[in-house]
């Protein structure tokens, strides 16, 4: 008779073999050439539960796909928290890669090359807003998923618009401006960047389908592919001596890589069609969202143009570098914008949306404070050590603009997402128009006074204007978040000041000392003043980053739209 120890070893060995067999089968499924080619293959089901035909059964980024795609309040909160964590983590990792590439590029390319790239990418982003016309936002907001015919119609519409914009920019760059004997190099490089628009339009539907289900693991992989290929292509072009062309040419190359990743991550209807009957209802709401995006992008393009026109291409280069230094806080702000609207749109109760928005603002006011304090407090030695002393004037833009970014990342992004989910896109549009006017008018006055400090102060004044309009017209619960916002801003400002006054501020030792001084000051003040929000962040991270799918809850026990218990 076998001993108990021998019997237990046999059971463990059998269990391990079965586990390895299942993992190997799932790996083969993920790496299957048929899936990479975009052909959907249904694996042999392990149970009798129904499957979602639009999603892969095995998600290499988020575990096994749930068979039930009804999103209740708890699931929405978990996926949204998980999504913010994934996007911030992804962007932080990509910022490290981008930082390494930028260290090399900053020593090869001139400041003027970065200024030209800032103008070119602003033109390309403005074109993207015109291409989409807010159609993705309209499809994300509505309850029912898009049919195959609607998917083809949307793809055909955005692809035609993208091609038209490329042709228009190309005519201006290579025909109109040369005919008028006007320097056209910047516009010609902008045309190269706009060649990414057709690739971006083809991945519109896969991205919409993923965002509707809050599947940010796949979205993270999609944008990671785009950014990694962009950086590698830009580095290769710069080493080849292409100058500013290396940066703009890398934009369509990265977009093509993102298109391949989108085709592998999400099944979508193939082909294109032309049906304005599908597009018109979507544009009714989407045009307001698109108008706001257009205003923001036109504002950015005008702002960069004012910096270059008044302060010169060198000042525009300093501005572009300041955005690199603030990469991590910018990533947090973008993650909140990207996750906030789809998550709130999936909720059924307006009161729940308002409650979650107010709580999210309080949490964001704490979460974004640390990276902002470090970036602002250690900006001078950071630029000197990594990019060289010629880039240190960018710190004069970083310090005041960090406060503006704080306001937009906390109240600006979240309150705008709340209004979009409530079907009101007019107020965010009004706020964007107002802050755009303040930004451009103040830029004209301040940049002529000081091209670096003036740029940062103009950004701060514009952010105050936009956030004030959004909060004044919000629900009382949202308006009360002005107190945690000001508290978080004060903590971050004091922490950044601790880094700025650090006596050791030269070389790598100075960089570490300034960053440590800012971080320790922030941690101490936050633990004393905002302890509740800090504990809440820890609780949300533990719940949101938990792997796998939670055990299903009966619909009658947790009705959709109910608020989950507060971890605090």
* Annotated domain spans of the chain: 74-544
List of residues 6+ apart from 35 with CB closer than 8 A: 29, 41, 56, 264
* CA-wise closest residue to 515 among 384, 306, 351, 371: 371
Annotate 506-526 with DSSP letters as a single string: SHHHHHHHHHHHHHHHHHHHH
End-to-end CA distance of the chain: 55
- Report the predicted TM-score, pTM, of the whole model to 2 decimal places: 0.62
In sequence order, the β-bridge partners of residue 64 are 58
Question: Tens of pLDDT along the chain (568 residues)?
Answer: 555 566 556 555 555 555 444 443 443 333 333 333 333 333 333 334 444 444 433 333 343 333 335 555 555 655 665 555 566 566 666 667 776 777 788 778 877 787 788 788 878 877 887 777 777 777 777 777 888 888 888 888 889 989 999 999 999 989 888 888 878 888 888 899 999 999 988 888 888 888 777 777 777 777 788 888 988 898 888 888 888 888 889 999 999 998 888 888 777 778 788 877 777 777 766 677 777 777 887 788 788 888 888 888 788 888 888 887 787 677 677 766 666 667 676 666 778 778 878 888 888 888 888 888 888 888 888 888 877 778 888 888 888 888 888 888 888 888 888 888 777 878 888 888 999 899 999 989 898 888 888 888 999 999 999 999 989 888 888 888 889 889 989 998 899 999 888 887 788 888 899 889 999 999 899 888 887 877 776 766 665 555 444 433 333 333 333 344 343 3
Question: Looking only at Cα atoms, what is the longest distance across the chain?
Answer: 98
CA pair distance 51, 113, nearest whole angstrom: 51
Q: Which alpha helices (H) appear in 215-275, and where do they start and end?
A: 216-239, 244-265
What pLDDT, on a 0 to 100 scale, did the predictor assign at position 47? 39
Structure token digits, residue 366: 């704490």
Helix (H, G, I), strand (E, B) or coil at 316: helix
pLDDT confidence of residue 438: 92
Q: For residue 555, count other CB atoms closer than 10 A to its CB.
A: 11
The Cβ of residue 350 has, within 10 Å, a number of other Cβ atoms equal to 15
What's the confidence (pLDDT) of residue 541? Answer: 61
Give the Å distances, CA to CA, from 79 to 146, 330, 348, 357, 439. Answer: 21, 21, 16, 15, 35
Query: Cα separation of 318 and 455, whole Å?
Result: 10
d(CA 418, CA 340): 8
CA 276 to centroid of chain Cα atoms: 30
pLDDT of residue 542: 65
């Amino acid at each position: 008779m076998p001993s108990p120890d021998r019997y237990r070893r046999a059971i463990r060995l059998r269990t391990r073999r079965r586990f390895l067999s299942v993992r190997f089968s799932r790996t083969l499924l993920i790496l299957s050439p048929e899936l990479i080619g975009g052909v959907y293959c249904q694996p042999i089901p392990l149970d009798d539960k129904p499957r979602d035909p639009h999603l892969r059964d095995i998600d290499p980024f988020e575990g096994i796909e749930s068979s039930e795609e009804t999103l209740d309040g708890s699931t929405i909160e978990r996926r949204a928290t998980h999504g913010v964590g994934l996007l911030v983590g992804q962007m932080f990792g990509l910022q490290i890669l981008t930082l390494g590439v930028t260290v090399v590029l900053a020593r090869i390319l001139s400041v003027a090359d970065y200024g030209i790239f800032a103008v070119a990418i602003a033109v390309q982003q403005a074109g993207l807003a015109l291409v989409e016309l807010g159609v993705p936002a309209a499809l994300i907001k509505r309850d029912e998923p898009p049919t195959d015919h609607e998917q083809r119609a949307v793809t055909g519409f955005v692809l035609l618009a993208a091609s038209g914009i490329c042709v228009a920019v190309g005519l201006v760059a290579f025909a109109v401006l040369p005919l008028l004997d006007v320097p056209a190099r910047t516009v010609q490089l902008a045309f190269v960047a706009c060649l990414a628009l057709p690739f971006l339009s083809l991945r519109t539907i896969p991205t919409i389908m993923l965002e509707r289900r809050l599947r940010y693991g796949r979205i993270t992989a999609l944008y990671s592919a785009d950014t990694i290929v962009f950086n590698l292509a830009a580095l290769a072009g710069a080493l080849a001596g292409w100058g500013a062309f290396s940066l703009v040419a890398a934009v369509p190359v990265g977009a093509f890589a993102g298109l391949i990743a989108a085709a592998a991550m999400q099944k979508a209807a193939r082909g294109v069609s032309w049906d304005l009957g599908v597009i018109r209802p979507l544009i009714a709401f989407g045009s307001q969202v698109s108008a706001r995006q257009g205003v923001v992008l036109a504002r950015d393009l005008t702002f960069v143009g004012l910096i270059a026109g008044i302060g010169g291409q060198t000042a525009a280069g300093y501005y572009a570098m300041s955005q690199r230094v603030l990469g991590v806080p910018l990533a947090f702000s973008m993650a909140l914008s990207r996750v906030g609207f789809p998550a709130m749109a999936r909720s059924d109760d307006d009161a729940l949306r308002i409650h979650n928005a107010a709580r999210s603002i309080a949490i964001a006011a704490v979460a974004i404070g640390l990276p902002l304090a470090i970036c602002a407090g250690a900006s001078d030695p950071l630029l000197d050590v990594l990019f060289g002393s010629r880039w240190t004037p960018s710190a004069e833009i970083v310090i005041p603009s960090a406060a503006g970014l704080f306001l937009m990342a906390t109240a600006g992004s979240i309150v705008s997402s709340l209004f979009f989910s409530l079907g009101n896109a007019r107020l965010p549009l009004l706020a964007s128009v107002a802050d755009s006017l303040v930004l451009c008018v103040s830029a004209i006055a301040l940049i002529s006074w000081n091209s670096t400090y003036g740029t940062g102060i103009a950004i701060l004044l514009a952010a105050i204007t936009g956030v004030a309009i959004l909060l004044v017209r919000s629900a009382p619960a949202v308006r009360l978040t002005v107190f945690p916002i000001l508290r978080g801003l004060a903590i971050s400002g004091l922490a950044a000041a601790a880094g700025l006054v650090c006596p050791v501020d030269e070389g790598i030792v100075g960089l570490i000392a300034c960053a440590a001084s800012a971080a320790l000051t922030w941690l101490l003040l936050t633990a004393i003043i905002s302890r509740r929000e800090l504990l809440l962040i820890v609780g949300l991270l533990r719940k949101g980053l938990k792997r796998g799918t939670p055990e299903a809850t009966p619909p009658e026990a947790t009705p959709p739209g109910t608020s989950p218990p507060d971890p605090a």
